[in-house]
Amino acid sequence: MMIGAIDWLAREVTLFAAVFMAIGGVDDLLMDAIYIARIWLFRQSHVSADALEGRAPKRFAIFVPAWDESAVIEAMLRSTLQRWPCATYRIYVGTYPNDAATIAAVARVAAEDARVRLVVGTNPGPTTKADCLNSLWRALLRDEAVEQARVDAIVLHDAEDVVDPAELRVFSAYLDMHGAVQLPVVPLVASGSRMVSGHYLDEFAQAHGMALPVRQLLRASMPLAGVGCAIRRDLVQRIADLRGVPFDAASLTEDYELGITLRAMGAPCVFVRAVRGEEATLVAVRAFFPATLSTAVRQKARWMAGIALAGWDRTGWARWRELGDHWMRMRDRRVTLAMPVLALAYGALVLWAISGGLHLAAGTSPPGLEGWAAVLLLVNTGLLAWRLLMRVLLVGSGHGWREALWSIPRMLVANAIALLAARRALGIYIGLLRGGPLRWDKTAHHFPGMGGGADPAAA
């Protein structure tokens, strides 16, 4: 009876997981089909940043929130100043009164270059990233009032970002016709963490190599990444006029929601893949992402809680006729179903292993799946093979065949991180529903040249 019960449970769990995995696989397949059709129809998928030379430059305010970033912020600022020697900009770095080390690091650079502005907030840290950005907004307003001049756009970056030399040139060219501009994000693979830090490279190759271009083609809302994005100054002012501050301090993922807000205002974001130089280097933001399992889980949990759970409550759905936007928001939130299904799928494997062991001990043959159940498993196997092929092609096109091959085993690592993060995200969301405080749940960062690896964007 026990063996029969385990056989039944294994079969039922397998069928439940297989049905929903097939639905998700078809959803991904439709996304892939649109992406392939886009490439076939439009051929050219990149613009030349070099061809944008001579456009009228704009004045930028670069916002860099920094809590406990003394290890990286000085190197990041010096690198940025070196890469942007002639552009018209000022870097506003937001710090906290109880973070003396970060204040000192920023002050050293600010004392040497007037383009760096140290801003010390009034509240002890950590608050939220959005709260820190609002402190920078207020500092910008004070400077504009004194200088009687406004910037044209606000650029968002993090303290660990490696900026691209052509970044501001691309922003200047596209902001005349768009409310905001988002550049690709390219994760750097930390030495000694090819599996954990490397899985970010795979996911961004898919998200910024395929998903965002498809969203743009469908005219769906374009979520901002919080780095490598520029927003027109007048639009930021409009948001501030509506709610008092431009960045919502009650949000875990204020960057994601900002893109949706801009679209609702009739000023959607444009995603630009540009290349520069003879080697056609992608104009992108490069940075190290978490390199350990625990830090990756913490970061992914914040994303899940902010986008798929709390973000669902906060942003809702698009207008009823905007089917493309509905579809993209559904994909953003499908993790709420995908993670339980993935857990059940792995659970089914364990149950089948137990069943096989018991049948072996009893000298009986384990049951198999027949009929439509067997066909469904075959379909899912084909969809998984296609998913792996697309991942290999997307990673390989941007990072070479070695990383493309590594992306295959890294899919298992990505699944494990996602499962652990989903549990933590649920806890964060429940805490928010109970009125718990929002805190900046950040991780330690590294900058190229600090022993974490070379900077591929040094050209």
Tens of pLDDT, residue by residue over 214-232, are: 999 999 988 899 999 999 9
Asked if 232 contacts 161 with a C-beta cutoff of 8 angstroms, the reply is no
pLDDT at 57: 78
Residue-wise pLDDT for 15-49, tens only, equals 999 999 999 999 999 999 999 998 887 765 678 88
CATH code at position 225: 3.90.550.10
DSSP letter at 305 equals I
- Residue 455's pLDDT is 45
Question: Rounded CA gap, 110 and 455, in Å?
Answer: 24
pLDDT in tens, 58-85: 999 999 999 999 999 999 999 999 999 9
pTM for the full predicted model: 0.90
DSSP 419: H
> 417, 207, 128, 200: which is closest to 298 by C-alpha?
417
Residue 88: exposure state from Cβ atoms within 10 A (0-12, 13-18, ≥19): middle
Model confidence at 454, in pLDDT bands (50, 70, 90)? very low
Contact 130, 224 (CB under 8 A): no
* pLDDT tens column, 291-321: 999 999 999 998 888 888 887 778 888 777 8
Residue with tokens 């379909």: 379
Q: How far is CA 332 from CA 4, 30, 223, 312, 328, in A?
A: 39, 15, 10, 9, 6
Domain that holds residue 205: 1-459
Number of domains present in the structure of the chain: 1
Cβ contact 156:262 at 8 Å:
no
Q: Are 106 and 132 in contact (CB under 8 A)?
A: no
